[in-house]
A and B are shown apart, each in its own frame.
Chain A
């Protein structure tokens, strides 16, 4: 993906977030905040038989933080929990595509860190 394409990709996810909302009876939920900038994401997940059956998020923050949550939710839906747990920061930044620089990588990684915390107990 070129940088221009990935910028469009991020902007699209920011403006039209996938899996936006809250699951009513989730298996698990988490609210994670980046204390440096206040970016917040809240995930609710439904996990059945080791599979991510449903995932939704809401949040407040910059385009990178919120688009990343959307991209992540779309990617992990219906995947094996063990596969999701094996996902590295580099893998996830690769999905986002754009070179973000050290400060804004933190914005992007907020969602991955939140999701990994949920999955720790699975």
Chain B
């Protein structure tokens, strides 16, 4: 059974790229364009992993991360940001991985695969 992955990003093009790439990898991909939407989705759906952008309007990725972990402590979240330096921010340490955004999604796919494999079915 394929894993459910939630992608949270305020940019539509990026969301589309994630969806197509990850769908191709065999994941069920749900999209959210804001942190609040993401939290709602997580509450109502069985999400296995979240790919979360940091710099977003309204509520940023780090706050979203906190709320998500409050909701579901075991939910894996991969922070995926254009900013490398947030890696130094201890608030991001709560995430399961930190990836700097790049056109080549190989790294992201590897990390997702590692995490979901550990989760088992």
Bind each other? no
Chain A contacts to B: CB under 8 angstroms? none
